[in-house]
Structure 1
Amino acid sequence: MSESMRKIVRRCFTSAIRVIDRFHIQKLACDAVQEIRIRHRWEAIQEETEARQEAKGLKKKYLSPTFENGDTRKELLARSRYLLFKSAEKWTESQKRRAAILFREYPDIKRAYCLSHSLRMIFNKRLIKAGARTNLAKWYQEVEQSGFDSFNTIAATLYDRSEEILDFCIHRASNAAAESFNAKIKQLRAQFRGVIDIPFFLYRLTKIYA
């Protein structure tokens, strides 16, 4: 999504259609959900610390209240991190129970998760560009009604680059293969604890992955 990449495409690939990768867009939405979860977690930590100090002052043993799945409030917010990245149909049974408690206790996290999921579904559905544009406009309205500052920032960013985002619907192009290969290169580099001889490192890459 950087301006430098846009300039490179304009100068070097004048006939190309530039597509902003859907996974970078979804990551922005997921980060916004996690921001709300983390804020609540710090509040839960502060509340537990104050309650523990109060019990200590009264010379009583402090026991953290737990929910029906055995999580304390602080644990619930910490252990909900990964389930908020996934679609509900991919949750395990324990994640389903934890999500039900989380959404009951924190309706704002549920609303944020639904916004993130609805954005993901725009790209998952095989829509033509015009249909995706209509769904994205509806998503902007939902974000405006939600009142989340982080999502409003994301919506403004997407609106500015909407054409390049919606170009995904033409060929459903993604750089997932390149990202996967990049991860393999980083893993190989980590095995050597860094690289000094760059030509030999490139030679190893061609022998393993070419």
Structure 2
Amino acid sequence: MAIDEKHIGEEMYTIISNRETGKIAMVCQSLKSKEIRQVLQKCRNQTLSQVVSLTWDFSSLYRKIGNDNLPNAIQIIDKFHVIKNLMEAHQDVRVRYRQKELDKRRKAHKEFKQIEKQRLKDSEQSGERFVAKKFHYKEQRYENGETALELLARSRYLLYKYKSQWADKQAKRANVLFEHYPEIAEAYTLACQFRDFMSRKNIGKHFLQIDKQLHQWYENVEDAEIDEMLNFKTLIE
């Protein structure tokens, strides 16, 4: 079974469905544990005890619902939400650097306005005609012809892909990006490693081998000291 929330109209609903058949088992117009429990209690205890697995996102609400109402269900965090949070963490590193560049632009514009204000004041005192200047933010262009802001904005989609999936233009852009922003490159490597871990490559491997691989990834994240990736690591541990 799977549990998730859905926005219908102006209301939020909690929905439990059968992942194999796609059929809905329960709909509750609430996100409160107590009210969801009241709906589930209308089912026979024997029926609830037959549920063997429950997949959900990272919501503590769903963990509580599973613990309180589905005693025999193994709880599994949905792979979709795991990868979604991983990619958001990775993209957040790129966004952080882009915000820094935007901050530089904002400060330059603020300084320009202060200078213009002083020029206007001086002109009024001297009686000279004031000619306003236009703000022009001078940005360095990298070897591919893009500014830092352009590079960081246009690199969004390539970071979702493996290197083998990049087009030639994306590969060139990635090389420039990783050269000038090595922390983004390191976060990208960590994201790809974890995606490999969650892929079919590990099907059939011994549990201890998989566990060792996961803990090695944890160590890699700790060594990298990238806040966004550390936050993701804490989320899944």
**TM-score, reference length from structure 1:** 0.65
Q: Which residue is equivalent to 1:165?
A: none
Mapped partners of 1:54, 1:81: distance in 2: 30
Is the Cα–Cα contact under 8 Å of residues 140 and 147 in structure 2 kept in the other structure?
A: yes
5+ long unaligned stretches in structure 1: 160-210
Q: Which residue is equivalent to 2:197?
A: 122
Q: Which residue is equivalent to 1:34?
A: 91
Is the Cα–Cα contact under 8 Å of residues 55 and 62 in structure 1 kept in the other structure?
A: no
Q: Residue type of the partner of 2:175?
A: A
1:190-209 maps to which residues of 2 (within 5 A)?
Answer: none
Q: Which residue is equivalent to 2:81?
A: 24
Shift of 1:110: 0.7
Q: Which residue is equivalent to 2:214?
A: 136
Q: Which residue is equivalent to 1:174?
A: none
Which of 110, 115, 122 aligns to 2:185? It is 110
Which of 137, 141, 152 aligns to 2:230? It is 152
Aligned-pair Cα RMSD in Å = 2.7
Can you list the C-alpha shifts for 1:177-203, whole angstroms capped at 9, x where unaligned? xxxxxxxxxxxxxxxxxxxxxxxxxxx
Shift of 1:121: 0.7
Is the Cα–Cα contact under 8 Å of residues 101 and 148 in structure 2 kept in the other structure?
A: yes
Q: Residue type of the partner of 1:20?
A: I
Can you list the C-alpha shifts for 1:135-157, whole angstroms capped at 9, x where unaligned? 11001101111112232222222
Q: Residue type of the partner of 2:219?
A: Q
Q: Residue type of the partner of 2:211?
A: R
Mapped partners of 1:101, 1:52: distance in 2: 27
Q: Which residue is equivalent to 2:176?
A: 101
Which of 162, 186, 201 aligns to 1:87? It is 162
1:38-53 maps to which residues of 2 (within 5 A)?
Answer: 38-48=95-105
Is the Cα–Cα contact under 8 Å of residues 44 and 73 in structure 1 kept in the other structure?
A: yes
Would the alpha carbon gap of residues 10 and 38 (structure 1) be closer, same or farther in structure 2, given more than 3 Å must change?
A: same
Is the Cα–Cα contact under 8 Å of residues 9 and 18 in structure 1 kept in the other structure?
A: yes
Shift of 1:36: 1.6
Asked which structure has the greater CA Rg, the reply is 2
Shift of 1:117: 1.1
Instruction: Name which of structure 1's ranges 1-10 and 48-57 shifts more when overlaid on structure 2.
Output: 48-57
Identity of aligned residues (%): 36
Shift of 1:50: 5.2
Instruction: Name which of structure 1's ranges 103-112 and 66-75 shifts more when overlaid on structure 2.
Output: 66-75
Mapped partners of 2:152, 2:168: distance in 1: 17
Can you list the C-alpha shifts for 1:113-163, whole angstroms capped at 9, x where unaligned? 11111111101123433322111100110111111223222222222xxxx
Aligned residue for 1:7, secondary structure, equals helix
5+ long unaligned stretches in structure 2: 1-57, 117-132
Is the Cα–Cα contact under 8 Å of residues 26 and 116 in structure 1 kept in the other structure?
A: no
Aligned residue for 1:103, secondary structure, equals helix
Aligned residue for 2:228, secondary structure, equals helix
Shift of 1:86: 1.8
